[in-house]
Structure 1
Amino acid sequence: MRIGVIGLGDIAQKAYLPVLTAEPGLDLHLMTRDRAKLDRIGDQYRLPNRHDSLESLLAADPAAAFVHAATSAHVPIVEALLKAGVDVYVDKPLDYTYEGARGLVELAEATGRSLMVGFNRRLAPGYAQAVERPRDLILLQKNREGLPEAPRSFVFDDFVHVVDTLRFLVPGEITHRHVRSRTRQGLLEHLVLELSGDGFTALGIMNRVSGSVEEILEVSGRNSKRQVVNLAEVIDQRGQPTLRRRGDWVPVARQRGIEQVCHQFLDALRKGRTVSARDALLTHELCEWIVGQVEESG
């Protein structure tokens, strides 16, 4: 199966290429405008099919493509792929705006092609298994050190993972939402999102001036709690805590759900099943609302 890989930055090199090059039956075609990088990575993985333009890649007639280009380039790249009849997997977010994301989802539906957004945390083992737990209260913190940013890129590039993970984990319909934030000199420093419904509350927190880089999920209810630290350590409590760490030989891509999401997309291709991005679009819609709330509060 002929598969394009568009964009060869850190996420492609560290997360996706190790998974895709280990997958049998794939004829990988690399694409980036940086010829030196293209040849270096092509040589590293012994991949002879290399393209320095999207037109060249499309001429090779790929069945599908993984898009790891900059977010600002997603819309024109994904539009061209879908119109050419290519199924697409794209890193989050689809676009920096809800309207741009909606346009891509509608185009995928109009062309009958698959469009999958890389919300890999839904398949990370510690998070995926949390769905089996009582979840009256959900708390997800994803903090960084010294990285305040403009609200739109803060929310759509990074906080989008928090938003989507909370949407995935809530046990019912969200009927209330609220945002608190702090912005200084036009840069967003921290953000708190509250989502709630019948019997549950979910809080998403990001502090870009926290002094630490960490991601901590806690789900609790009915006298039990699960805590997942940096997607690697899982602490379950029913009275006494039980700690499980990522095994020494477990790849980071599997720990973070990237291996699983790649397999999910490829399995759908092999079975001729169309993947819809409609649910992912709801996450983009909520992110657009959050940006509006932050900008309105100043």
Structure 2
Amino acid sequence: MAVGVIGLGDIAQKAYLPVLAAQPGIDLRLMTRDRAKLDRIGDTYRLPQRYTDLGELIGSGIRAAFVHAATDQHVPIVEQLLTAGIDVYVDKPLDYHLDGARHLVDLADRRGRSLMVGFNRRHAPGYLLAAERPRDLIVLQKHREGLPEAARSVVFDDFIHVVDTLRFLVPGEIEHVDVRARTRGGLVEHLVLTLAGEGFTALGIMNRVSGSTEEVLEVSGGDAKRVVVNLSEVIDHKGQPSVRRRGDWVPVARQRGIEQIVTGFLDAVRAGKTLSAQDALRTHELCELIVERIESA
């Protein structure tokens, strides 16, 4: 099966190409406008089909594509792929603005093509373990060191993972949304999201000037708590804590859910199963609401 990879930046090189290159029965074809990078990575993986033009890549007969280009290029690239009848996997976010995201999801539905957004945490083993437990209270903290930014880039580039993971984990309908943020000089330094519904509360917390880069999930209920640290260490609290760590030979891509989401997408393409991005669009809608509340405060 011929599969295109569009955009060969850090995320493609570190996370996706090692997984894709290991998949059986996949004929990978690379595309980027940077010829030197294209040849260097093509040589590394011994992939002869290399393109600097999207139209030529589409014309080569690809059946599916992974889009890792810059976010501001997602709409024109994904639009061209979907219009050509190609199933698409795209990095989050679909676009920095809700209208662009909605346009792509609606286009995919009209064309009957799959559109999957790279919310890999829904497939991470530690977070799937967390989803097995009672979840009266969910707290997800994702912090950065020295990275205050404008609200839209913070929310859609990074906090969107927190938003989508909380939506995945909450055990019922969200009835209340609260947003609190501290900005300085127009840049967001920290952000707290509260989602609540019948019997549960979920908190998403991000500090962009925290002094460290970390991600910690806590779910509690039924007088027990499960904690997942940096997607690799799972700690159960009920009496004496018990700890499970990522095995020495478990790939990081598997621990972060990237391997699973990639194979899930490819399996759907092979089977002719159409994957809808409507639920991913709900995450983008909530992110747009968060940005509006921050900017109007």
Taking structure 2 as the reference length, the TM-score comes to 0.99
Unmatched tracts of structure 2, length 5 or more: none
Q: Tell me the distance in 2 between the aligned counterparts of 1:58 and 1:211.
A: 44
What is the match of residue 12 of structure 1?
12
Matched residue, 1:118: 118
CA displacement at 1:61 relative to structure 2: 1.6
The two structures have a TM-score, normalised by structure 1, of 0.99
Quote how far apart the aligned CAs of 1:94 are: 0.3
- What residue in structure 2 maps to residue 185 of structure 1? 185
Tell me which residue corresponds to 1:58. Answer: 58
State the AA in 2 paired with 1:257: G
Structure 1 counterpart of 2:168, one-letter code: F
What is residue 276 of structure 1 aligned with on the other side?
276
Is the counterpart of residue 100 in structure 1 residue 92 in structure 2?
A: no
Q: CA deviation at 1:117?
A: 0.3
Paired residues for 1:195-234 under 5 Å: 195-234=195-234
Aligned partners of 2:60, 2:188: CA distance in 1, in Å? 43
- Could you tell me how far apart the structure 2 residues matched to 1:248 and 1:53 are? 40
The sequence identity of aligned pairs, in percent, is: 74
Runs of 4+ deviating beyond 6 Å: none
Cα shift readout 1:127-183 (whole Å, capped 9, x = no counterpart)? 012111010000000000000001001000000000000000000000001000011
Segments of 5+ residues of structure 1 without an aligned counterpart are none
Q: 1:184 Cα shift?
A: 0.7
Q: Secondary structure at the match of 2:217?
A: strand
**Number of residue pairs the alignment of both structures matches:** 297
Amino acid at match of 1:55: G
Q: Verify: 1:267 aligned to 2:267, yes or no.
A: yes
Report the Cα distance in structure 1 between the residues aligned to 2:129 and 2:97, rounded to whole angstroms: 31
Task: Determine the C-alpha separation between the residues in 2 that align with 1:180 and 1:253.
Answer: 33
Q: Which moved more, 1:47-56 or 1:161-170?
A: 47-56
Deviation at 1:55, TM superposition (A): 1.2
Which amino acid in the other structure matches residue 25 of structure 1? G
How far did 1:33 drift? 0.3
- Residues 135-154 of structure 1 correspond to what in structure 2 (within 5 A)? 135-154=135-154
